[in-house]
A and B are shown apart, each in its own frame.
Chain A
């Protein structure tokens, strides 16, 4: 191969192309590290719950009335983020802008409903170990939602400024990937705090 590199060099893309480039790898490594963070948060929940005496679980039957629709809303926002990325990919700027705007609105809606969830709880951050875990874990997720929304807003602005094309769009793909991550990790948080009590964990 060494000979060929010199004797018949190939034509190479200059800079990132599509979603290929070192930036894509960079986004991947940071998301891996963030995913590990949530794994440790959930480990803390399961470990403490498994070793706690009865009565640790403050909500043996957590209400899904707000949480379930809210989860679906967040997932739907991911679909719109994907649709926006497709808009950039196919050089349809209005679609991209509409998609980002919808994703931002839905993400903000998720955050607002989550805020209502917090307000409606009968316990606070310092009530018990379970309460601390609940608020800090969902709080960590909320922080990621806020960062994700900031990323989506930046993508909206940059798309409006006509920065991207189907070839030059690595930033878009990396940002949307981050939003998918924020949504996917919520499924784990949701399952842990809202569903496993029904399955009997720590009841």
Chain B
């Protein structure tokens, strides 16, 4: 029978029979097969989150070893070579394997629920992005565990990274691993961009999406455009090291600064990519506990985009000390100073939301609200180093280390832990323990500031970063001891989070649909949500569908229990990019092992390239090509081709 090319979606209400029908259409098969083939964004999101937290733990342990080594002057727990690998692997782990994937995890889990959809735009691509993330993480850690971890800092400057100075496999693991990881980021970003524009619930015009969507969307657009820069840089480095090219070696007419440009063209926007979605978590979570909508929604959304646009033009502020022409420095300095303006918009919007609201103080609120303080401290130290003369004083000292940790822990980890308290009940059906949560918060907050506030002084006193030990010049010893103590307190705080999660999974209080009385769509479905998310597709008339009765205001109301049924197949609705008017019924793919096989093929290929074993490399590439072909083979059930005409 020819499937219909046009259909008027049936409108109805949620019934038990309807739910049973949807469950049958959407359910993942049990066992190993289901494990490797699922494309459910909720399962993928939780896997992302768990994996990223494991990497947070690993990176944290590395940090503690570093802090033991630095706890006093002239210690020798680590050799200089080991120290290089520990701090470089710590940076790589936290910045690439934790900070971005954790946000992808939350966004993967939450987006379709926030947007009133049944899955991401490309569910199989979503699975691919996760499998490659895991595979590249294992690849990079295989290097570290065999003594071949990165050893030139996370930004890996040449000529230190070139073969003459770095003959081992360390840099080859890092270079190929980062190219591999970049594929995961890129396909994930493409998925977020299309999902944001094409699969929102009817009526959810672009000015009604939660700020988290703005944050991840902005970060994803940036990632699409800047990840190729770092992948290229690492590829050229690998060519220089293994195939005798001369991109970076000055002796042969190469340009060492090209590495720094390509790296920072990527890495500065990347810093925004790993904070903007976290800022979105605060913009969405904080108002729930202030019992009012976010103040200045439009301003915060626009400032998110403005931050990223300016963020493309500030990379040279990482290179002020490299002897570039003064005119260039002035431009990049000005852009870097200017970027504080959109950041300040968000800060004032959050403060106003607390000020005008009736705050409910709980663990999630504390994490979200404390982020504002940490953001301001990290922002001010960033503002300082945006000035060229100040930067010349502070570059390569612990001041910069303090700054980056205020930014990344303050604006990523604190919101993420807050988000865990906030959305854990949605993901598991159980609340995290509030009493333990308070301990969790205060241990982390005190430990963090104890560790990193004095570090600014360490830097101002001139202690250089990345040196494996030091003599006790004017107070460096005691400052470092305080930092080391603080870091252990902070780590204990993070451990309390893991303890709380483990305990609450079993014994936590039942959450119900909407434990926080929050306004957005994810709280309108059960906790955890059914595999198909929404039994009927919600139709949205405002930014706060669940608060409409109390916020009042004119106009239509959202309709959550009556709407499109879409139960004639694995379907959801596609809408227009700006106004979210329904424009097509989307046929969603079934579970598939193609993504996992593709990731496996690529793993084999990269391992072969690393060891210069061309046969396995070719076999891996062949497997990957076959997986892609099977994946893209046009199928009638997805309406990608005509039914057979016989």
Chain A residues in contact with chain B, CB under 8 A? 1-3, 5-6, 9-17, 20-23, 25-26, 29-30, 32-34, 36-37, 40-41, 43-44, 47-48, 51-53, 56, 125-126, 128-133, 135-136, 150, 154, 158, 162-165, 167-168, 170-171
Contact A9 B540 (CB under 8 A): no
**Which of the residues A6, A40, A132, A168 comes within 8 Å of B539, measured between beta carbons?**
A6
Asked whether A126 lies within 8 Å of B243 as measured between CB atoms, the reply is yes
Contact at B224–A29, with CB atoms within 8 Å?
yes
Once A128-B252, A130-B253 are accepted as A-B contacts, the answer to whether A2 and B587 lie under 8 Å apart by CB is no
> A26: which of B190, B247, B558 is its contact (CB, 8 Å)?
B190
Q: A25-B194, A128-B252 are contacts. A44–B258 as well, Cβ < 8 Å?
A: yes
Residue in contact with B6 in the complex, picked from A14, A29, A30, A32, CB distance below 8 Å? A14
Instruction: Find out whether the CB atom of B3 lies under 8 angstroms from the CB atom of A14.
Output: yes
From 1 to 51 in chain B, residues with beta carbon under 8 angstroms from any chain A beta carbon are: 3-9, 11
On whether the beta carbons of A25 and B202 are closer than 8 Å, the reply is no
Residues A125 and B252 in contact in the complex (CB < 8 Å), given A26-B190, A163-B634: no
Query: CA separation between A73 and B361, bound complex, in Å?
Result: 69
Contact partner, A5, options B197, B202, B254, Cβ 8 Å: B202
Q: Encode contact with A along B114-156: 1 for CB under 8 Å, 0 otherwise.
A: 0000000110010000000000000000000000000000000
**Interface residue from B190, B246, B585 paired with A12 (Cβ < 8 Å):** B585
Cβ B246 vs Cβ A126 within 8 A: yes
A49 nearest in chain B by CB position: B255
* Chain A CB within 8 A of B338 CB: no
* B581 located at the interface, meaning its Cβ lies under 8 Å from any Cβ of chain A in the complex: yes
- Sorted from nearest, which 4 A-B pairs have the closest CB atoms? A15-B639, A126-B244, A132-B245, A37-B228
Q: How far is the CB of B205 from chain A (nearest CB, A)?
A: 8
Task: Tell me, in angstroms, the Cα distance from A11 to B228 when the chains sit together.
Answer: 41
A154 to B252 Cα, complex, angstroms: 43
A12 to B3, CA, bound (A): 13
**Structural contact, B194 and A37, CB atoms closer than 8 A:** no
* B203 cross-chain contacts in A, Cβ below 8 A: 1-2, 5
Contacts of A22 in B (CB 8 A): 121-122, 194, 198-199, 574, 586
A11 CA to B262 CA, complexed, in Å: 49
Is B225 a contact of A36 with CB atoms below 8 Å?
yes
Contact of A167 among B5, B122, B558 (CB under 8 A): B5
Among A30, A48, A164, A167, contact of B258 (Cβ-Cβ < 8 Å): A48
Asked whether B327 is an interface residue with its Cβ less than 8 Å from the other chain, the reply is: no
Name B465-505 residues within 8 Å CB distance of A: none
Given the known inter-chain contacts A6-B562, A37-B231, A158-B634, please indicate yes or no for A25 contacting B197, CB distance below 8 A: yes
Given contacts A5-B202, A12-B6, A168-B634, 11 further A-B contacts (CB under 8 A): A6-B11, A12-B9, A15-B587, A22-B574, A23-B640, A26-B191, A34-B228, A36-B226, A126-B244, A164-B642, A171-B634
A12 x B642 contact (CB < 8 A)? no
CA distance A168 to B642 in the complex (A): 6
Q: Which of B522-571 contact A (CB under 8 A)?
A: 539-541, 556-559, 562-564
* A2-B556, A171-B632 known; A56+B253 contact, CB < 8 A: yes
Q: In the complex the two chains form, is B243's CB within 8 Å of A125's CB?
A: yes
B295-330 CB mask vs A (1 if < 8 Å, else 0) is 000000000000000000000000000000000000
Q: Which A residue's beta carbon lies closest to that of B266?
A: A40
Chain B hits for A11, CB < 8 A = 6-8
Q: How far is the CB of B518 from chain A (nearest CB, A)?
A: 20
A14 near B587 with CB under 8 A, answer yes
Residue from the set A34, A37, A52, A131 with the largest chain B CB neighbour count within 10 Å: A37
Q: Which residues of B contact A30 (CB under 8 A)?
A: 186-187, 190
CB of B177 to closest CB in A, whole Å:
18
Give Cα A70 to B451, complex, Å: 62
With most chain A CB atoms within 10 A of its CB, the pick from B125, B557, B634 is B634
Q: How far is the CB of B297 from chain A (nearest CB, A)?
A: 19
Min Cβ gap A20→B in Å is 7
Task: Compute how far the CA of A5 lies from the CA of B536 in the bound complex, rounded to whole angstroms.
Answer: 13
CA distance A42 to B257 in the complex (A): 15
* B638 interface residue (CB < 8 Å to A): yes
B583 CB-CB contact with A under 8 Å: yes
Q: Which residues of B contact A9 (CB under 8 A)?
A: 8-9, 11, 564, 582
Q: In the complex, what distance in Å separates the CA atom of A136 from the CA atom of B199?
A: 39
Does B58 touch A at the CB level, under 8 Å? no
Query: Judging by beta carbons under 8 Å apart, are B224 and A52 in contact?
Result: no
B209 interface residue per 8 A CB criterion:
no
A15 engages B585 (CB within 8 Å): yes
Chain A residues with CB under 8 Å of B582's CB are: 5, 9-10, 12
A sample of 17 inter-chain contacts (CB < 8 A) reads: A2-B541, A5-B202, A9-B9, A12-B582, A15-B638, A22-B194, A25-B121, A26-B190, A29-B224, A30-B190, A32-B224, A32-B225, A36-B225, A40-B228, A40-B232, A129-B247, A131-B246
Q: Which of chain B's residues have a CB closer than 8 A to the CB of A56?
A: 253
**List of A residues within 8 angstroms of B602 by Cβ:** none
**Contact residues in B for A16 (Cβ distance below 8 Å):** 584, 639-640
Assess the B587–A162 pair: CB atoms within 8 A. Answer: no
- Distance (Å) between the CB of B628 and the closest chain A CB? 9
Instruction: Choose among A1, A10, A17 the residue with the greatest number of B CB atoms under 10 Å from its CB.
Output: A1
Instruction: Find the B residue at minimum CB distance from A50.
Output: B255
Assembly CA distance A44 to B122 (angstroms): 33
Residue on A with the closest CB to B186?
A33
Q: Assess the A133–B247 pair: CB atoms within 8 A.
A: yes
Beta-carbon contacts under 8 Å, B209-235 to A: 224-229, 231-232
Assess whether B254 is in contact with A48, with CB atoms less than 8 Å apart.
yes
B224→A36 contact, CB < 8 A: yes
The answer to whether B190 touches A129 (Cβ under 8 A) is no
Quick one: closest A residue to B226, CB to CB?
A: A36
Task: Give the Cβ gap from B14 to chain A, nearest Cβ, in Å.
Answer: 14
Cβ–Cβ < 8 Å partners of B187 in chain A: 30
By beta carbon, the residue of chain A nearest B562 is A6
B556 in contact with A3 (CB, 8 Å): yes
Q: In the complex, which residue of chain A has the Cβ closest to the Cβ of B231?
A: A37
CB contacts (< 8 Å) of B245 on chain A: these are: 125-126, 132, 135-136
Q: Are A14 and B585 within 8 A (Cβ)? A: yes
Tell me the residues in window 613-646 of chain B with beta carbons closer than 8 Å to chain A beta carbons. 625, 629, 632, 634, 638-642, 645
Kindly provide the distance from the CB of A100 to the nearest chain B CB, expressed in whole angstroms: 15
Does B239 have its Cβ within 8 Å of any Cβ on chain A? yes
Q: Are B642 and A162 in contact (CB under 8 A)?
A: yes
Q: Which chain A residues lie closer than 8 Å to B360 at the CB level?
A: none
CA distance A102 to B574 in the complex (A): 36
With contacts A163-B641, A168-B639 taken as known, whether A13 is within 8 angstroms of B5 at the C-beta atoms is yes
B585/A13 in contact, CB under 8 A: yes
**Is B193 interfacial (CB-CB < 8 Å)?**
yes
Contact flag A165-B262 (CB < 8 Å), given A14-B587, A26-B190, A132-B246: no
> When the two chains form their complex, are residues B246 and A44 in contact, meaning their CB atoms are under 8 A apart?
no
Closest chain A residue to B587 by CB distance?
A15
In whole angstroms, what is the CA distance A95 to B243 when docked? 45
In the bound complex, residues from chain A placing their C-beta under 8 Å from that of B511 are: none
Contact yes or no, B239 A12, CB < 8 A: no
Contact B255 A21 (CB under 8 A): no
Chain A min CB distance to B451 (Å): 37
Q: Are A2 and B539 in contact (CB under 8 A)?
A: yes
B396 interfacial by beta-carbon distance below 8 Å: no
Is there a chain A Cβ closer than 8 Å to B265's Cβ? yes
Q: Are the C-beta atoms of A168 and B641 separated by less than 8 Å?
A: yes
Interface string of B336-351 (1 = CB under 8 A from A): 0000000000000000
The residue among A5, A20, A26, A125 with the most chain B CB atoms within 10 A of its own CB is: A5
